[in-house]
Chains A and B, each alone.
Chain A
Amino acid sequence: MGVISIKSSDNLFWLGRYVERVFTTLKAFTECYDIMIDVNDEEYINFCRRLGIANNYSCRQEFISSFLFDSNDPASIYSSLLHAYDNAVEMRNVISSETLAYLQLAVDIMEKSSSSNAPLLKVQEVTDWIFAFWGSADDNIEAEVSRNILKFGRSVERLDLYTRLDYPVELLRKEFSIMLNRLYKVGIDFNSHSIERLSRMILEEEDYTPYRISIQNELSQLFVTGVI
């Protein structure tokens, strides 16, 4: 079934973005957590700065519990996961009950992990369920256009986060190529000027880091058409 509405395409796009946000920030959080064990107690301050989120945490411990599990913290991994779930639950008929179930399992694990004395061990399962989610999405989403929108959202989020987290340029270029491919397949009107500028900054410049903010801005402008 390939018929989807504007609202549904929006749900799919943001579903892809939020699932990826959970996945990549969880990975980055784990690295930060490790550094905080015996290298730098306040590494979380750098972490917040890199991600571009407000450091509203009074100490390492508060950061750990809040950034992982606090649904009232809009930057938390749990909040992102709930946003992913909210988008997914409206898309059950497109992504299938099987695919939705993996996000439900991730939400359940996140809720159980908050009371664990070794939360990082438990939340590993969130990563596992996200892998299963993508596998199931590949298998069960029948309409190519729906799969492409979902994965397009994932690529946009990856590019955004990779620039924030200083990922190697090779990874950025690879993801940008994937994103372009999906963008053309999706067939939505897009801002071609943004794509040109992104191409220049990511593919032609040796070091993208001076353009980090510009790349993030251009990504947010992808669908603002009519811009010169």
Chain B
Amino acid sequence: MYGLIEHTDEINRLLARYGVKFGIYKNNVFNERLFPFDAVPRIISKDEFDYLERGLKQRVKALNIFLKDIYTKKQIIKDKIIPEEFVYGAAGYMMECEGAVPPKDVFAHISGIDLVQGNDMRWYVLEDNLRVPSGASYPMIARELCRRASPDTFRANTVVDNRNYGDLLRDALDYVNTGGINVVLTPGRFNSAFFEHSYLAEKTGAVFAMPQDLFVEGNVLYYNEYSGSRKRVGAVYRRINDDFMDPMTFRADSLLGVPHIMDAYRAGNVALVNAPGNSVADDKGIYYYVPAMIKYYLGEEPILSNAPTYLPFYPDDMKYVLDNIQKLVIKDVAESGGYGVVFGSELSLEKVYELKKLIQKEARRFIAQEVIQFNDLKVVENGAWTERKADLRAFVLTGEEPVVWKSGLTRFSKDANSFVVNSSQGGGFKDTWVLSR
């Protein structure tokens, strides 16, 4: 392992060479940044990963059923497992998707489940990302370079190869493909995850498309070739948010979408990966109900735990949150990417007062969670060992059955005391090793 770590700087230089970057807008200016890589891997034993794998599959299965239920029969609401205001009041619920069932009933083809490990070594799910979760390409390309940097490290450790993510993604696309080519649809060069879009197109062998390359005719989606001919499209791995995907259905001012793509989808003529409307299931308010969802749909006890979460919507929870706000983390359900997260312990008395008022006024807008004491991970910074908070984004790809990618994106915080690990907030990433024995 030390043979690997001593090459950290060279690996970072090679990552830069391959354009491994993410974009960030600050003051309306687009900049591309390198995503700093720390060569000390997160190591997950076989047994531990087996446990995570079971839990992740179970969770994603339930979320998939939930999505179908919500946009069709709504049985979970009728049975009062989830209050309807949490579904219909969620920013991610899309009325336009009512009744639309995707090919082969798969809604969440690619799920990014964010977990943390507490210092009691238990894993907690922090978030379910079912819209367009990003980040798999980073550990995949880092692994390629790590193996070149220190082959002995990989000869000595039984690390499962993670460079098959492109194959898994292609399998997921092929499974739901309705007949035609696979396409990776990017909103364009200035999207924050553009590197990943283009890299995954390369690795899956899919056609890389911009919105203007696609058009719909007779409820069928086509790719417009330079020669004037057209190719039918069977599956679109779209990296465009729902709101912008089809100006005829969602935001009329969207210049990023493909007009009538939703008509082709509703007609069952194309698979949209992930399915539109998924964001209702990764709403921070709905997250609270995922354990109940698992019991309800699968009749099983949840394998993975949520972080202890309170919904101020419920009077008891409201009281607890108001009484204990300074030891909780408060999250605005409408925000993502590390924004809208407030640690009560970091607020002045005046700010605490203001936040309490806001929570009382807009109870549905917030969730509160106990601060999990992370099992910090080792990183090497300027040649010295230190520790950082880190999470793990696990990727579950669903075709006929959910498959958990035997790796994941481990992100760590920029500063020692920070809990915020998002790349947009300046953090770095690690490879995630899953041991085969």
Contacts and interface: CB of A to CB of B under 8 A. Distances in A.
User: Main SS of the interface on chain A?
Assistant: helix
Interface in A1-52: 1, 3-9
A5 B210 contact: yes
B268 interface: no
Interface in A77-91: 86, 89-91
B207 A1 contact: yes
Interface string A93-113: 110110011001100100000
A214 B210 CA distance: 36
Nearest to B20: A97
Given A3-B225, A101-B19, A188-B227, A92 B202 contact: yes
B198 A90 contact: yes
B297 interface: no
A94 B208 contact: yes
B339 interface: no
B17 A8 contact: no
A187 interface: yes
Interface residues of A, number: 25
A221 B333 CA distance: 55
A104 B208 contact: no
Interface string B6-27: 0000000000111100000000
B373 interface: no
Contact of A101 (B18, B207, B223): B18
Given A1-B207, A100-B19, A8 B226 contact: yes
Contacts of B18: 97, 100-101, 104
Interface string B41-61: 000000000000000000000
B301 interface: no
Contacts of B225: 3-6
Chain B, interface size category, equals 20 to 34
A82 to B, nearest CB: 12
Contacts of B262: none
Q: Which of A4, A5, A101 has the most CB of B within 10 A?
A: A5
Given A100-B19, A101-B18, A3 B181 contact: yes
Contacts of A93: 184, 198, 201-202, 206-208
B281 to A, nearest CB: 30
Nearest to A95: B202
B71 to A, nearest CB: 32
Q: Which of A89, A96, A149, A188 has the most CB of B within 10 A?
A: A89
**7 closest Cβ pairs, A-B complex:** A92-B198, A93-B201, A9-B226, A5-B213, A93-B202, A93-B208, A6-B226
Interface of B: 16-19, 181, 184, 189, 194, 198-199, 201-202, 205-210, 212-213, 223-227, 231
28 contacts: A1-B207, A3-B181, A3-B207, A3-B225, A3-B231, A4-B207, A5-B209, A6-B224, A6-B225, A7-B212, A9-B226, A89-B19, A89-B189, A89-B198, A90-B208, A90-B210, A91-B208, A92-B208, A93-B198, A93-B201, A93-B202, A93-B207, A97-B202, A100-B19, A101-B18, A101-B19, A105-B17, A188-B227
Given A6-B224, A97-B199, 17 more contacts: A1-B207, A3-B207, A3-B223, A5-B209, A5-B212, A5-B226, A6-B213, A6-B226, A7-B213, A93-B184, A96-B202, A97-B19, A101-B17, A104-B16, A149-B226, A188-B226, A188-B227
Interface of A: 1, 3-9, 86, 89-94, 96-97, 100-101, 104-105, 108, 149, 187-188
